[in-house]
């Protein structure tokens, strides 16, 4: 039997970690992730899990310990945010290239400088090309559900790649919400036992991870990572299907809301999607044909599926919580990738980008409403007046 609990996003993640009962967790405190690992430390101390809990001296060491443990054949988890993730950067690539199925809870926070502890997505966007799978979560429930699924996705023999599960720093990580917690036994049965294929500690069959690999085979190893990424989308959907059936949920690659008959749509990830949904309902009451698409899977990027889902629209507004500095029009990464996807899949729809909420600046319903009203105007005229708008910034 599942039960409903009042939990913060971080406590929900820690609960999922307790139920998954990983072999090793290595982490370093950083706001706003800290309470996840701290709660988990209690579980370790109280003997509720069998986990080897390693308190390291930096995030660089945290990810290094994770890679070592994972290569040894352990089921490994960690959590971090912002500069912590940035400090892990070197080892993130090594985790992916060594095909270590590590699962990380990433609580999105703005990168320094200036120093800021509040939410934006500049941290995760920095690891777009690292070889990690990246999934977004709107609230504590999704962070909890995604984390459980992530273990299965990461460890699938056709994938064997690390997974980062994102949620918004403070906005959901510290907000107390109603979260359905499934039965411990059900979660354990769902994630199953991890059977590493090539554990370092199998002394009968010695192996090596990550040795010198020049122009002879390095390229082939990268090509294999591509193959794993190609498999990942199918595996994510298979795992979601099983999860949905078992726990009565509805996960896919993304979540459309009132999109079917919509003329314009906003694309926005994580917690802001919740605010946007309210705006959609309000505008629908006025008779306006508006919809919403909330991305769940960002890596691998489901280009074709997104293009299909958006092909009937007259205007698309993307909302980005980070900037890809110096990229086309200094737009956000979500916009850039989506624009490329639609163009390559033959979907001709006017698009605009709205950068918002950097460094935790609040985003309010009336601001999202403005985005919709802009998009409705674009739908009418067929012309985008301004490609990139920075919402509620002093200029």
Partner 1 sequence: MRRQRRESRVHERYLRHSKKFPNIWCAGCGIGIVLGAIIRAVDGLQLDKDDVAMISGIGCTGRMPVYVDFNTMHTTHGRALAFATGLKMVRPEMKVIVVMGDGDALAIGGNHFIHAARRNIGLTAIVVNNLTYGMTGGQYSPTTPIGALATTAPYGHIEQPFPIAELAVAAGAAFVARSTVYHVRELEKYIARAINVEGFAVVEAVSYCHTTLGRLNRWGTAPEMMRRLKENSVTLKQAESMSEEEKRGKIVRGIFVEQEIPEYTRLYDRIIERAQQRTSLQVETA
Nearest to 97 by CA among 226, 235, 233, 236: 226
Q: Which two tokens stand for residue 246?
A: 């078992």
CB of 107 to partner 1, least distance (A): 13
Classify the C-alpha dihedral 250-252-258-260 as positive or negative: negative
Q: What is the DSSP letter of 138?
A: S
Nearer to partner 1, 81 or 290 (CB): 81
CB 86, min distance to partner 1, A: 8
Binding of partner 1 at residue 2 (CB under 8 A)?
no
Quick one: which of 24, 28, 101, 389 contacts partner 1 (CB under 8 A)? Answer: 28
CA 139 to chain centre: 12
Q: Which C-beta is closer to partner 1: that of 37 or that of 148?
A: 37
**Which residues from 99-118 bind partner 1, rule CB under 8 A?**
112-115
Question: What gap in Å lies between CA 102 and CA 92, rounded to an integer?
Answer: 10
Q: Which helix (H) or strand (E) holds 165?
A: strand 163-168
Shortest gap between Cβ of 317 and partner 1 (angstroms)? Answer: 35
Distance (Å, whole) CA 192 – CA 201: 21
Q: Shortest Cβ distance from residue 339 to partner 1 (Å)?
A: 33
User: Measured between alpha carbons, how far is 177 from 319 in angstroms, rounded to an integer?
Assistant: 24
**C-alpha atoms less than 13 angstroms from C-alpha of 61 in its C-beta half-sphere:** 8
Those residues with Cβ within 8 angstroms of residue 78's Cβ, 6 or more apart along the chain or in another chain: 25, 26, 27, 62, 63, 66, 102, 103, 104, 105
Determine if 83 is a binding residue for partner 1 (CB under 8 A).
yes
Between 78 and 146, whose beta carbon lies closer to partner 1?
78
Instruction: Please identify, using beta-carbon distances, which residue of 83 and 149 lies nearer to partner 1.
Output: 83
Q: Pick the closer one to partner 1 by CB: 45 or 340.
A: 45
> Least distance to partner 1 from the beta carbon of 178, Å?
25
Closest CB 358 distance from partner 1, rounded Å: 18
Contact string 34-63 vs partner 1 (x = CB under 8 A)? xx-xx--xx--xx------x-x-xx-----
- 32 vs 302 by CB, closer to partner 1: 32
According to CB under 8 A, which one of 29, 126, 252, 359 is a site residue for partner 1? 29
Query: Which DSSP string corresponds to 21-57?
Result: --SEEEE---TTTHHHHHHHHHHHHTTSS--EEEE-S
Question: At its nearest, how many Å lie between partner 1 and the CB of residue 222?
Answer: 30
Show the tokens assigned to 134. 């990246």
What letter does residue 311 receive in the DSSP assignment?
A: T
Place of tokens 């966007």: 125
Closest separation between CB of residue 83 and partner 1, Å?
A: 6
Residue count at the site for partner 1 (CB under 8 A)?
22
Return d(Cα 348, Cα 307) in angstroms, integer: 10
Of 62 and 388, which has the nearer Cβ to partner 1?
62
Q: Which is nearer to partner 1, 73 or 126 (CB)?
A: 126
Least distance between partner 1 and beta carbon 55 (Å) = 5
Closest Cα partner for 292 from 6, 80, 275? 275
Q: What is the DSSP letter of 181?
A: E
Q: Which is closer to partner 1, CB of 115 or CB of 343?
A: 115
Residues 126-185 that bind partner 1 (CB under 8 A): none
Q: Give the interface with partner 1 as residue ranges (CB under 8 A).
A: 28-31, 34-35, 37-38, 41-42, 45-46, 53, 55, 57-58, 83, 87, 112-115
């Amino acid at each position: 039997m599942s039960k409903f609990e009042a939990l913060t996003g971080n406590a929900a993640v820690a609960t999922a970690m307790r139920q998954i009962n990983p072999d090793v967790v290595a982490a370093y405190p950083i706001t706003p992730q800290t309470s996840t690992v701290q709660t988990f430390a209690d579980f370790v101390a109280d003997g509720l899990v069998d986990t080897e809990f390693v308190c390291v001296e930096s995030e660089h060491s945290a990810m290094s310990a994770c890679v070592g443990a994972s290569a040894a054949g352990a089921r490994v988890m960690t959590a971090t945010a912002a500069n912590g993730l940035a400090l892990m950067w070197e080892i993130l690539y090594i985790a992916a290239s060594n095909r270590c199925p590590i699962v990380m809870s990433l609580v999105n926070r703005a990168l320094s400088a200036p120093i800021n502890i509040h939410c934006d997505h500049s941290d995760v966007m920095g690891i777009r090309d690292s070889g990690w799978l990246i999934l977004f979560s709107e609230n504590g429930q999704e962070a909890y559900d995604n984390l459980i699924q992530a273990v299965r996705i990461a460890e699938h023999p056709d994938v064997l790649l690390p997974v980062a599960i994102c949620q918004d720093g403070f906005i959901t990580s510290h907000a107390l919400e109603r979260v359905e917690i499934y039965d411990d036994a059900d979660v354990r049965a769902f994630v199953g036992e991890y059977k590493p294929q090539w554990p370092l500690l199998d002394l009968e069959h010695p192996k090596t991870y990550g040795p010198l690999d020049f122009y002879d085979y390095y390229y082939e190893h990268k090509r294999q990572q591509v193959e794993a990424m190609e498999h990942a989308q199918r595996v994510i959907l298979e795992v979601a299907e099983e999860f949905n059936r078992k726990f009565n949920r509805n996960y896919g690659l993304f979540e459309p809301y009132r999109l079917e008959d919509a003329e314009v749509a906003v694309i926005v990830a994580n917690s802001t999607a919740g605010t946007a949904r309210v705006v959609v309902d309000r505008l629908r009451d006025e008779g306006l044909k508006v919809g919403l698409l909330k991305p769940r899977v960002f890596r691998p990027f489901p280009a074709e599926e997104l293009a299909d889902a958006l092909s009937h629209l007259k205007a698309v507004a993307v909302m980005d919580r980070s900037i890809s500095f110096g990229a086309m029009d200094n737009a956000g990464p979500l916009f850039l990738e989506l624009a490329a996807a639609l163009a390559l899949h033959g979907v001709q729809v006017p698009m605009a980008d709205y950068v918002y909420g950097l460094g935790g600046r609040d985003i309010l319903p009336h601001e999202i409403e403005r985005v919709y009203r802009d998009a409705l105007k674009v739908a009418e005229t067929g012309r985008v007046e301004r490609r990139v708008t920075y919402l509620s910034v002093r200029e």
